[in-house]
Structure 1
């Protein structure tokens, strides 16, 4: 194993991503700007919450609002700088090196290139496949105790709001990115613009799912996840030990695999999980909670 090659990858990942973040903040990139894209989408959904609040007695600056705002920027940008980009690039190289030992390449797994399809179809295929894989990963986060200990951070939300979408432990994106690697390799050929379109679409839907909005989108509720459905995923009292309504962007998987659950309106149900009274309330404590020795 060429250790120096991996050290260079890690070093270049840090330098490259730091330069990229600076360019985004200074508006030196093209329209694919994740920094201001996140801010714009967040402001739009927050304004919708203010104009059309489902729970009218819930404060605009709801319980946990500022903690979630910090999580939002930490998980979206700082986490990439601290670990994810370097880890992702290193793992990708290691995976390619391991395949080369047995005479394979990443292209050996590729069934087709999604960009050979008409643009609308290729985006739809990319969106649906990634969402289905993430739906399965989300179920794992609930069913595997080790993973659930990290996912509890997200379920510590006590009042729903758009920023709660990105309250999650730093281990979660590592799990998602790792398990998404092979499926995305199988449908290779997507470009930066495709990734951005799918990413911003999922970000918007995720913000809306967690927002203080009483929407279900009519008959489209059987296709798209929505606030009235997702609030039951966060309910403290559930009919299943491992949870319900695992949809990320699409609700259709829950209806197909019978994990859907909307027994009533759900506007004022208690959120959280059993024993959350003793769950830490600060960022550092929540980050350390899953790895601390329990009595």
Structure 2
């Protein structure tokens, strides 16, 4: 409860949390929230202006832009979040095993991670698309294959720092089990790093999926997705700029909210981060994670 109070003392974090939860709920209950069928074509309403029935107007096929924007949350955010959860879960388990037990186990797992990280992320994604074809599921598969090793290496670095702490060594001396030590002593202090790296990956994965969909390699018509909506509106970007502004602003707003909320989440997990020393320590870990993330991408 104390951490929640610290978290929501920041007004920006509160606003970001509202944007994130509202977006997720809108995606989950899109069937009841969307005012119209997102795939229903009305050629007589082609490029129609905003009205009470169509608040954001209609696209080149007369479809409701607002409804497509709401339904686009599912592939753009919800499916990416599910993929991120799987990647983080795999990377966390491997990272904790490698960082805590070290030795031969660490060497073997890290060599596997090195092999996975040796492939550029975009190249691997394009290779999977070339083998299995275009589509959302293939891009999400590529995300899981490429991201888990990145999470494993970053989390392993954090675990190795904390596993050598005096209180951990003292617990081992008392005969406390490894799983109990990991759960009670290492997991809580590793949460800020996991939260930061997850947020950074979440934001980048949303942008990457939108980018692939914009290029026609991701979500396919007639399904709605923010990147594909940008692609469909680019031909009329000067005459009807609102068709590009709606999905563009939505993407920027949600990604920014995720980043701002995670910054506040760091402080909530560890209030000592307000001191300069701790900020520099975590900043170094985050920068390492971002640099390795760029190498993977």
Choose between structure 1 and 2: higher helix proportion. 2
Q: Which has the larger radius of gyration?
A: 2
Q: Tell me the TM-score normalized by structure 2.
A: 0.30
Q: Tell me the TM-score normalized by structure 1.
A: 0.30
Larger RCO (CA within 8 A; separation ≥ 6): 2
